[in-house]
Amino acid sequence: MLVISDPTTAMRGPREAQRGRLAGLTTVVTGGSRGIGLGIADAFAREGAAVGVVATRAETLESASMQIAAHGQKVHTVVLDVSDRDACFAAAVSIAEALGPIDVLVNNAATYIPKRFLDYEIEDVRRTMEVNLYGALHLTQATAPGMLDRGYGRIINVASTAGKWASFNQCAYNMSKHGLVGMTRCTALEWAGSGVTVNAICPGLVDTELVDQLFRDQAALRGVSEDEIRAGIMARVPSRRLTPVEQIGHLAVYLASPESAHMTGQSLSVDDGMLFV
């Protein structure tokens, strides 16, 4: 499903920002109305970028667009299910028409269906792959040709530490994130030297509603209390703290900027040291 906001209503904040590390760039963030995606979109606007925000719910897009536009940048929102390939291509056209040619794509949209492996229905796995992996494929194929033609582009795939290791009771999610890391490496290799870079950010436990839900889901699946699950999982984090959303945004700004021209094909963990233990 695709619902495009009227380009004439693309929001502009009270002041036009004149400076920023991303000034003059058009960016797109999927899953950009809350959590990590909103944090990235907000960081992009702070650094002078125009921002296309894609999400599945119109109500969260409205509040997100107001927050982002407050930084003085143009915002264009699209209600989109990224598993719909044709709608993804239409969304890319809509954003480019409203904001200008797309320079930066952040594939952040994701779904999470926690189950024991033997309890998965094929539809659970299919839906997870369609959103988390195929959605990124659709939008990358929709936007990368223009980037390659212009000789500049940044594609940032929000994977996860789940794309680097094994986890209990979420095999479908880990499969999709491993696939996203693989796609990052392969596209980076194909486009090396073109001016288009592709990198992945692999967050650990970020302070979002999704992580709170993860604790509840894992507690239910294991038949223990949420406090017990939280304590056990946090014991694997050397710092014993959740990562603030803003930390992901800071890294995304660097990867989206000209400063990262010689970094491609990387999968960068922001996990407070989880992968060390």
Residue 11: band (very low, low, confident or very high) from pLDDT cuts 50, 70, 90: very low
Answer whether residue 180 is part of any domain. Answer: yes
Mean pLDDT, the chain, integer: 91
Look at residue 231 and tell me if it is in a domain. no
The answer to whether residue 223 is domain-embedded is no
264's CB contacts (< 8 A; 6+ apart) are 188, 191, 192, 197, 198, 199
Whether 188 maps to a domain, the answer reads yes
In a domain, 277, yes or no: no
Instruction: Count the domains in the chain.
Output: 1
We report the CATH number of the domain holding residue 121 as: 3.40.50.720
Per-residue pLDDT, 226: 86
Q: What is the mean pLDDT of residues 185-214?
A: 92
> What's the pLDDT tens digit per position in 64-116?
999 999 999 999 999 999 999 999 999 999 999 999 999 999 999 999 999 99
Q: Is 112 a catalytic residue?
A: no
Confidence of residue 276 (pLDDT cuts 50, 70, 90): low
Q: At how many degrees (to 10) do helices 135-150 and 171-190 cross?
A: 20
> Is 229 part of a structural domain of the chain?
no
CB neighbour list of residue 122: distance below 8 Å, 6 or more residues apart: none
In a domain, 6, yes or no: no
User: Contact 22/48 with Cβ under 8 angstroms?
Assistant: yes
Model confidence pLDDT, tens digit, residues 17-49: 458 999 999 999 999 999 999 999 999 999 999
For residue 193, give its domain range. 26-204+244-269
Residue 3: inside a domain, yes or no? no
Supply angle C-alpha 56, 108, 154, rounded to 5: 125
State the pLDDT at residue 80: 98
Which entry of 120, 152, 173, 254 is annotated as an active-site residue?
Answer: 173
